[in-house]
Amino acid sequence: MAILFRRSNGIYYHITSQNGRRVWRSTGKRTRRDAEKYLRNIALAGQPKTRNGSQTPLFSKFLSEWRIYARANLRPTTVKLYEEAFRSFLRHRGDRALGTYDSRDLEGFKAERLREVSAAKCNIDFACLKALFYKAVEWEVIQNNPCKGVKLVTIPPQRPAYLTKEECARLVNSIEVPWLRDIVTFAVSTMMRAGEIVNLRWESVDLKKRVILVENTEVHRLKTTRPRFVPMNDWVLGYLTRLGPKEGFVFRLPSGGKIDVLWLSHRFKRACRAVGVSERIHFHSLRHTGATWLVQGGASIYAVQKILGHSDVKVTMRYAHLDSAELHSVVNWIRPDAAD
């Protein structure tokens, strides 16, 4: 795999390994973007012809180039999601020159995928493919995105699944493993994502200011590039004060090993099923739970937006829902028969 490096003369060189030796070759380019385009043009040489006669690589070949970009710019969990979508696409539509796919291929993939997975999962796979083809357009590998004009599967809107306070208390009290019980309580209290929690380090915890800094690190990438500060409630402050401060990751297994996100999610799901809570509840639902409780308690939707780290308040607005009991309470404020 080629590695780009800019020397003191301002020129980018690509480094390869041949027979155990490091080989430097000049790209003649002064920007990383131009150097990457130069390398892609080399990779395209001798690739299959498309229907209009231009040269484009096989889907699998372009995917190899895309992985270099993905490892540097996307979270590992996101890359896994993309890879799963690409495997499904290759299985259904075959490995062909990238420029030969059209909207019919994407519509066909969507229809075939719907027989295997839910509409939501089908839309996720399609979104991954659309992003890949847009990257190919941006890199000038193909001229048009075949996903353009292909619509997502229509899904009826659903409010986020969350636990009531009674359900949450019953669940937490049923968990016999102390570290798992603590993580569940921590997740509801901070509304942090599973990946953010298991990758939280002590240097990001400020007990004096009662805030947790959530930011991109070498081992974990956020959904957005902007860091955010999560305020601690009394339980979180007391819990972290008793724990530390220490060094390294805040949450670890009793053996000292790092907690895996998927493994944590499976353990949590098992605990949910043991007490009979809704199958819609997953670990991410703890984030929904905390946000919903805040809104139901009267918190400003904009305050909740800031804590959750949403860039658009429209995303946060989905938590501004009321249950039937609250609706009855609200409408009872209207008393036409009562005097002022």
Q: What is the pLDDT of residue 135?
A: 93
CB 32 within 8 Å of CB 4: yes
Q: What is the pLDDT of residue 49?
A: 44
For 135, the 3-state DSSP assignment is: helix
Higher pLDDT among residues 334 and 108, named by residue? 108
Summarize the chain as % helix, strand, coil (round to 5). Answer: 50, 10, 40
Residue 141 burial by Cβ neighbours in a 10 Å radius (0-12, 13-18, 19+): buried
Q: What is the pLDDT of residue 8?
A: 79
The span from the CA of 204 to the CA of 190, in Å, is 14
The span from the CA of 306 to the CA of 314, in Å, is 12
Query: Does 326 score more than 70 pLDDT?
Result: no
Domains, the chain, ranges and CATH? Answer: 3-138 (no CATH), 165-327 (1.10.443.10)
Would you place residue 223 in the very low, low, confident or very high pLDDT band (cuts 50, 70, 90)? low
CB 225 within 8 Å of CB 216: yes
Higher pLDDT among residues 29 and 134, named by residue? 134
The span from the CA of 228 to the CA of 308, in Å, is 8
Would you place residue 249 in the very low, low, confident or very high pLDDT band (cuts 50, 70, 90)? very high
Q: What is the pLDDT of residues 121-162, one digit of tens each?
A: 999 999 999 999 999 999 989 989 999 999 998 887 677 888
Query: Does 52 score more than 50 pLDDT?
Result: no
Of 99, 122, 124, the C-alpha closest to 112 is: 122
Q: What is the pLDDT of residue 51?
A: 43
**288 CB neighbour count, 10 Å cutoff:** 21
